Every structure is written in C-alpha cells, then in structure tokens.
C-alpha cells in the first residue's frame, strides 16, 4: 500500500492533489506529472510513502532537474514506485551499469539449481553483490526542503507518517488531509 500526493506551492499557499502513479514508469514521467500540477512553474513536491517502510520526496522547480530524497533505498528498491526514484545517478552508478545482472552466474542451469557445490557458493556471492548495489538507508538530496523550512536533520529523523510530518512542517497539513 502506498500513498502519493503532489504539493504545489502557489502565490496563495500550498495546493495538494492526490496522484496515481500507475502510468508513471520513469523519473521523467514523474517530473512531467509534477510540472502539469503547476502551470506557473512553481515548486512542486511529489511525496510518496509506502506502508511506513520508506518515503520519498521529489522536488521539481520549473524546468530544473528533479531533486530526490529517499529515506531507505533498500526498502524502496523492493517497490515498483521506489524503483522510479532510484536512478543510477542517485545511487552513484554509471548509467546502464547493471551490477545485478553482472553478478549472476548464468550457466544454463534451471530453477536456480547449481551444477555442484562450487556453483552454489558463487550464487551466494552473486546475491550478496546484488544487495550491495542499493545501500540501506537514505540516499539523495537531504537538503531538498531546507529553503522551505525543513532541515536535513529533521528530514533524516522522520519515520512513520513522514508525509504528514513533512506537510505539517511546510504548513500544508490541512491541504494534504483533503486528498488523503
């Protein structure tokens, strides 16, 4: 279960809208969705939270590149919505660098059965390599909300209803509640 909302900063304050991410496949799609929420190129925040396991903040300011913060990359990597946020750049990888596939031993055996004990040991190493590809803990721009009144330290310490806490710190909790 996840919750996603858009918060657009306008001259009159924050405006919230509920959003479905079913048609969003890439970070570019998500940024375009955010830009559509604010025709005046105001700041738009996409807040995503999944079952209190992780949350993400994507900030779009006009045509600038999106700024991203994810509270737990490993947890987000297990989510189709989290995978949208975990770009190669955010994870510090070269584009197209596919550590997971490189680490797999594709020797033609089926159902994960190894030819002998040595291959089984290699398979264990491959799984460990795949886990290292995505760090446990926060990744991204922890200062993404500094100029809006939410410090890096406060953002990193959030858990539970982080989306609600972020909205409260920004003075947007009432408008967020209208879309929850």
| Closest to 172 in 3D by CA, of 52, 5, 31 | 5
At 138-178, the pLDDT tens digits run: 999 999 999 999 999 999 999 888 999 999 999 999 999 98
At 61-110, the pLDDT tens digits run: 999 999 999 999 999 999 988 999 999 899 988 776 555 444 444 454 44
Query: Given CA atoms 147, 81, 34, 161 in this order, what sign does their dihedral have?
Result: negative
Q: What is the pLDDT of residue 74?
A: 95
Better-scored residue on pLDDT, 29 or 51: 29
Q: What is the pLDDT of residue 172?
A: 94
Q: What is the Cα–Cα distance from 83 to 73, expressed in whole angstroms?
A: 9
Helix (H), strand (E) at residue 16: strand 13-18
Q: What is the pLDDT of residue 137?
A: 92
Q: What is the Cα–Cα distance from 128 to 79, expressed in whole angstroms?
A: 19
């Amino acid at each position: 279960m996840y919750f996603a909302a858009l918060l657009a900063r306008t001259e009159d304050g924050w405006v919230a809208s509920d959003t479905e991410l079913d048609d969003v496949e890439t970070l570019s799609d998500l940024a375009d969705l955010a830009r559509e929420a604010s025709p005046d190129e105001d700041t738009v925040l996409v807040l995503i939270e999944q079952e209190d396991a992780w949350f993400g903040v994507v900030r779009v300011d006009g045509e600038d590149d999106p700024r991203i913060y994810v509270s737990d990359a490993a947890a987000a990597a297990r989510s189709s919505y989290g995978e949208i946020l975990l770009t190669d750049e955010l994870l510090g990888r070269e584009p197209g660098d596919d550590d997971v596939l490189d680490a797999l031993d594709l020797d033609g055996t089926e159902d994960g059965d190894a030819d002998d004990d040595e291959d089984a040991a290699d398979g264990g190493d491959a799984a460990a390599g795949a886990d290292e590809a995505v760090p446990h803990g926060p990744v991204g721009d922890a200062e993404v909300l500094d100029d809006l009144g939410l410090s890096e330290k406060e953002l990193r310490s959030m858990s539970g209803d982080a989306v609600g806490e972020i909205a409260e710190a920004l003075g947007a909790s009432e408008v967020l509640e209208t879309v929850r």
